[in-house]
Amino acid sequence: MAQTYFSIITSDNAFSMDASLSVNRILPSTVTEFPVEDGGFATDNVVNKGDIITLSGIITDIKSAAGKDNLSTSDFIKAIEGIRNAKSLVSINVGLDATGFRTINSCIITNASFSQDSQHGVASGVTSSYRVRLSFKKVRIIAAATQETREAAVVLKDLTIVFPQAAKDVPVKEDTSPKTDPKLEARRRAATPNSLLSKILAR
């Protein structure tokens, strides 16, 4: 469907009310309640919030020549309900400027009202008609933070590591010295001068 002054634009469609009575756009900001130091930047204490847009108008099943392609009342309500339930972001045309449609992107429905009275849908002889009031709020989207990751290349040169070898078993040399007979060794000691002197003194 072709866009109009106050169209609601989804990813695959654009639709509007049969009669748009008003559009209201608020640009809210908040400022700190605390005192600001003299010489400080006042702008550091102000936060700009997302635009608030309100559209009000009428949808009806009696179509004019200009609005013959507009959605029926039931389809319009289903479309708004679908956007709200899916929490989908939409764009809103809020009028014209020198470059064309003045479009506010990344908006989400915050309130939707459909009402009927004696002039619109109740005892009016009209098949179906509603007063509609839709409120949207712009979602402020910033670019995702990116972090540059640098891979460090580590080059290892060939290293020759020498591990000490375990000590080999050293064979124990066999004692090949001549062995003395214990009896002969006793006689030899007995024949020494000291032994003879001991025997004489013992007498």
Residue 181, domain member (yes or no): no
**Predicted local distance difference test score (pLDDT) of residue 167:** 54
Query: Is residue 103 assigned to a domain?
Result: yes
Containing domain of residue 89, as a range? 8-138
Within a domain: residue 104?
yes
Is the residue at 1 inside a domain?
no
Residues contacting 113, CB < 8 A, separation 6+: 131, 132, 133, 134
Element (H, E) at 40: none
Number of domains in the chain: 1
pLDDT of the residue at 147: 66
**The CATH number of the domain where 31 resides is what?**
2.40.30
Q: Is residue 61 part of a domain?
A: yes
What per-residue confidence (pLDDT) applies to 131? 93
Tens place of pLDDT for every residue, the chain, 203 residues? Answer: 567 778 899 988 898 999 888 999 999 999 887 777 776 566 777 889 999 999 999 998 887 766 677 899 999 999 999 999 999 999 999 887 777 788 999 999 999 999 988 777 765 555 688 999 999 999 988 877 666 666 555 555 565 655 555 555 556 566 666 666 677 676 666 665 555 555 555 55
Name the strand (E) or helix (H) holding 109.
strand 100-115
Residues sharing a CB contact under 8 Å with residue 9, sequence separation 6 or more, in sequence order: 3, 90, 91, 92, 93, 103
pLDDT given at position 6: 84
Is 47 inside any structural domain? yes
Q: Give the model's pLDDT for residue 166.
A: 56
Res 92: pLDDT: 93
Count of CB atoms situated within 10 Å of the CB of 104: 18
Whether 128 is in a domain gets the answer yes
